[in-house]
Structure 1
């Protein structure tokens, strides 16, 4: 009986994952694009600043944004699973 309950949860999770997958990636891409534009405007325009340093800063912003979206999505899925089935 415990196996069936776990299987139902796994199937429900996969359905939710595939349903939201495209929208999450789309949201992630749009937010990353906006952050790139904002962050590039904040980088000082100095001739002695190498472009690799600016790229590293930009990459760090993208990583933080990706982690935030994944954590938020994980919280939503956790609420959907455990608020109804507990």
Structure 2
């Protein structure tokens, strides 16, 4: 599977996933009291979001046709073309 997570989408997944996992673990050890099922879900979703941010691959993005990684490649390619076309 090709990379399809980049830019703000990747940043959100890394930061948000870590935050969800930390809150879930804090609730599981008793620092925060929010029940028992919710902390487990927070940890699971946090780990999944963080992993998709690190790997830059998301099955759900592929299924709906969302590709935030391509924008980064296209921008880089376009900038390289512009810089090579200009005379020195």
TM over 0.5: no
Q: TM-score, normalised by structure 1?
A: 0.31
Structure 1 or 2, whichever has the larger Rg, is: 1
More helix by share: 1
Q: TM-score, normalised by structure 2?
A: 0.31
